[in-house]
Structure 1
Amino acid sequence: MDRQQILDLYEWEDGLCFRCPSKGEVPTAVVGVIHPHACGEREVRGCADCVISMEDVRREEVARAGSEYRPGRLGEATG
């Protein structure tokens, strides 16, 4: 899969990237969910460059574990 095909697996909306907020409001996708004690559930969002970077890390981890890599799953609950 190429970069754009991976990005197309996500839903995008303007927001701040958790890794590079200095970019300001840019298209972002949900890459995780946190549960702060005081405020329930909050989405963690990433820009396209960070989503691709995180997908690359996932691909390498899955390959080392001998599992099948399936892109587009950042932000999904595991367990």
Structure 2
Amino acid sequence: MAKSKNHTTHNQSRKWHRNGIKKPRSQRYESLKGVSIFFSTSRLLSCQSLTMEIPWKYPYRYFLFGQNLFTNSLFYHELP
């Protein structure tokens, strides 16, 4: 008796392309499930410190430009 066919990909490519081969959808934010809580909190705080300037870190800059620490806006000293 002849051997039976085990596997073939005949017509499969046509079926795949019928609806189009699409890229997998990427997630905007990667899940932090299973990540250490200490790592995730330090990551969050480091990102906040990059976006928010800390006044006590650069005191001379605030003195020089006269930055108002409460409104976070610059008020330059007028020259005489």
- Structure-1-length-normalised TM-score: 0.22
Higher relative contact order structure (alpha carbons within 8 Å, sequence separation ≥ 6): 1
Greater C-alpha radius of gyration: 2
Structure that is richer in strand per residue: 1
